[in-house]
Structure 1
Amino acid sequence: MPPEIKAWDQNKVWDQKSMGWIKTIGLPCVLLVLLGLGSCRQESRGANRLAEDTAAAQQVDPNLTFNNITLEQPDEKGQTLWKVRAKQAVYTPDKQLAKVQSPSGELYQDGKPAYKIQAKEGEIRQDGNRIFLRGDVVATDVESGAVMRGNELEWRPKQDLMIVRGNLRGTHPKLILSANEGRVQRRQQRVELSGNIFAETRDEPKLKLQGEKMVWLMQQDRLVSDRPVQAQRIANNTQVTDQANGDTAEVLIGSRVATLRKNARVLTVDPPLLVTGNSLIWNLKRQTIEADQPVTVVHQQEQTTLTADRARMDLEPRVARFTGNVRAIGQRNDSDLASDTLVWTIPTQQLVAEGNVVYNQADPPATVRGPRAVGRLQNRTVVVSGGRVVTEIVPPNP
């Protein structure tokens, strides 16, 4: 169904005698045009309403210009698809396209306003299936209050698709973002972002994300990406503390939990740890890092490396727990310890290992086995105990 055009033009009126348009000043003209071939009705103070004359209207120049115009488009059920007001509209000779200046209005879904829009200029096709807006585009989601700004906007109502291109900036009660392009499917609550993406949560602690492709599943409160993503923890609104990245990522926005997979790594400032693996779950609110696959943790200052099948690091009390094929290596003193489980108190560097413990040191050479061990690798003071045997290894005096 073609768009219905309601226009008010104070510069032209239809002259019934000459069957043409004439210029006038101060005499309002109300036009109702369908498919560019409708009828024109002139009303003025003290004048009778002119009868609609379809045959005369067909002689109108196809290059029609309307000022202060309102365009509406219904769907097959008669529900409004969109309503656009413009300062001026100019139709092309084939009547297939209307170019509008300073457009503003509403985009509808199921007969209800979905977005409020505005721009510097735009184009509206006769079939009503597409609207193009350009220049300082603003689209506001009526329900959520989310706002998207950009250089261009394309609305495809039948596909439930709004595309914002060029210098996209978006604000939402939970998220601030920017990208080269955003494709919004409102019914699915899905936003596909591409190109130079920056996304930042609003609530503390803030999580900032960078990447080239992300999908925002709004109803699920998730951001997902099958491309490399970099994540940063922001303190005091500006200070970058911990950082992370992975070849793929999934982020729960509300709880600020980032799951990084494939070549994942998290670098923390306090304590100074580098955590690497193929599956890391970083919880910014609880200050934890969990690994459900083999993981490596390096304390760079103490030159200590720990590996295990699984691990959990509590960064606030600074305690790490490792499970399965655990190995702790002290590079300074060439010592290492293997066990089934291990608890590492990071500030004191104390290790508590249990299950099939094997401790090795190079100087003096020694190997001790037992069910349990407590000590520190840095000064090679490790006590291995269990059953009736207790072995203490103390480095010789210098």
Structure 2
Amino acid sequence: MLQLVFHTIVSIRLLSVIVLYCITGLYSCSSQTYIPKTQITTSQKLDNNLIFFDVTLEQADKVGQPIWSFKTKRAVYTKNKQFGRVDNLYGEIYQDGQVVYQIQSDAADIKQDDKRLFLRGKITAINPKNGAVLRGNELEWKPQKDLLIIRKEINGTHKQLKAIAKEARIKTRSQRIDFSGDVVIDSINPPLKIRTQHLTWQIMQDKLITSHTIKIDHFKNRQIAEHLRGSAAEVDLKAKIARITKNAQIHLLEPLMEITSKEMTWDINTHTVSSNTSVQVFQKSENIKVTGNYGELKIPQKILSLGGGVYVTGQHIKFIKSQKLTWLLDKNSIEASGDVVYKQVKPSLTFNGDKAVGNLKIGHMVISGGNNRKSVVSEIIPQ
């Protein structure tokens, strides 16, 4: 039941009587009826507008539980639009009889019925439980659907992150926010910048989830250290683990390198990226390509480990095949082990062994082991 309060709460039925009396000029009341004092000018009467001061707007559900309650310093009533304009609005929206968001606005257009509330203006919504603050230019509350929608130039803040989007759809019971439209998330710890078109923030679980194209920048000393990309991802802010679950890519700036896989797990605590699916590595400066069935990258140590059908190509070698490979990225040196096959271009040579150690940049390689248990050294010095 929608209620209006002018010093005391007056029902909508009574307000309708007041409006009818004021507009028709047939204003009269008995000694038992309380009529609130309002200031109405002649021009407002002609425009079918009434202005009320210190108003409370309330709406309850069928069992009497509140679903919203607002106070406003000034409200303009229009005959066709109910309360069309309110100033200095402050109040709460409720779910299951509990406050879920506090709402503030200096000035807003308002429409309301028993199923929804709509506000247009500079709106601030504050969650008193988790501290999330959302700002936008439109608000729609649908209590029966447990859905709060904030639209147009969304700006959100929280102790864990900052968010920008075109729309935020909030499920109040589960404390979940779906951001959409040019979404940008800046998390504080870990320091990440996330860009996508749609993202779900599970506030209680400290998780960010998307099934859309996503870009993640990781910062170190306020500088971008790594770029991650993918078509779907889940970021656990509490555990500091990001999982790119589709079309995963990581771009390293030092050394300049790209690593791709169907999926990757990024442990931000240890700065380790791993994948249990096929991995492809490309170092453009030396034109080196490496593939394996699984892999792990230790970013601080600059060590890349691959396993399961490893295949290497480069400027000075035709290919190296092995079961495992360890690549020291800063030195461009490798160690391959397990059924090693080494083939070079000039001169055309092929060697088999248990292990190969060498430098991919200068083309120096030592192959050891094999059936004859003899070491073979092949050295190429670039001209």
What's the TM-score bracket when you normalise by the shorter of the two chains?
A: 0.7 to 0.9
Structure 1 position 314, deviation (Å): 0.5
1:325 aligns to 2:314 (yes or no): no
Residue of structure 2 equivalent to 1:172: 158
* CA gap 1:106/1:396 in 2 versus in 1, 3 angstroms: closer
Q: 1:25-40 to 2 correspondence within 5 Å? A: 32-37=10-15
Q: How many residues align?
A: 358
- Tell me the distance in 1 between the aligned counterparts of 2:333 and 2:150: 55
Deviations 1:212-237 (A, max 9, x none): 11111223322222221111112334
- Correspondence for 1:151: 137
Distance 1:95 1:266 in 2: 54
> 1:14-53 residue pairs with structure 2 within 5 A?
32-37=10-15, 50-52=31-33
CA, structure 1 residues 113+358, in 2 after alignment: closer, same or farther (shift >3 Å)?
same
Matches within 5 A, 1:180-259: 180-204=166-190, 206-237=191-222, 239-259=223-243
The more displaced of 384-393 and 74-83 is 384-393
What runs of 5+ residues in structure 1 fail to find an aligned partner? 9-29, 41-48, 55-60
For the residue of structure 2 that corresponds to 1:389, the secondary structure is: coil
Identity %: 30
- Asked whether the equivalents of residues 155 and 165 of structure 2 are also in contact (C-alpha less than 8 Å), the reply is yes
Match of 1:43 in 2: none
Aligned residue for 2:159, secondary structure, equals: coil
The match for 2:25 is none
Does residue 122 of the first structure (1) align with residue 109 of the second (2)?
Answer: yes
Aligned ranges 1:269-280 → 2 under 5 Å: 269-280=253-264
Q: 1:128 to 1:86 in 2, by over 3 A?
A: farther
1:133 corresponds in structure 2 to: 119
Counterpart selection for 1:338 from 309, 316, 321: 321
Q: Residue 310 of structure 1: which of 277, 294, 316 is its match?
A: 294
TM-aligned CA deviation for residue 86 of structure 1? 0.9
Code of the aligned partner of 1:242: E
SS in 1 for 2:62: coil
Report the counterpart of residue 69 of structure 2 in structure 1: 83
Q: Which residue of 2 aligns with 1:355?
A: 338
Letter in 1 for 2:54: N
Shift of 1:208: 0.7
Residues of 1 paired with 2:278 and 2:243: CA distance?
15
Q: What do you get for the CA RMSD once the two structures are aligned? A: 2.5
How far apart in 1 are the matches of 2:52 and 2:354?
89
Give the equivalent residue in structure 1 for 2:23.
Answer: none
Aligned residue for 2:369, secondary structure, equals strand
Work out the CA distance in 2 between the residues paired with 1:39 and 1:323.
82
Matches within 5 A, 1:92-131: 92-93=78-79, 96-97=82-83, 99-119=85-105, 120-125=107-112, 127-131=113-117
Displacement after TM superposition at 1:4 (Å): 1.4
TM-score of the aligned structures, taking structure 1 as reference length = 0.83
- State the TM-score, normalized to the length of structure 2: 0.86
Could you say if the C-alpha distance between residues 64 and 35 of structure 1 is closer, same or farther in structure 2, counting changes exceeding 3 Å? farther
Instruction: Decide whether the 8 Å contact of 1:163 with 1:182 is kept in 2.
Output: yes
SS at match of 1:173: coil
Whole-Å separation in 1 of the counterparts to 2:81 and 2:9: 16
Using the alignment, how far apart are the partners of 1:95 and 1:366 within structure 2? 87
SS at match of 1:71: strand
Deviation at 1:193, TM superposition (A): 1.0
State whether residues 137 and 150 of structure 1, in contact with CA within 8 Å, keep that contact through their aligned partners in structure 2: yes
Residue of structure 2 equivalent to 1:57: none
Check the 8 A contact 2:295/2:306 in 1, yes or no: yes
* Cα displacement (A) at 1:133: 1.9
Instruction: Please tell me whether the aligned partners of residues 364 and 395 of structure 1 are also in contact (alpha carbons under 8 angstroms).
Output: no
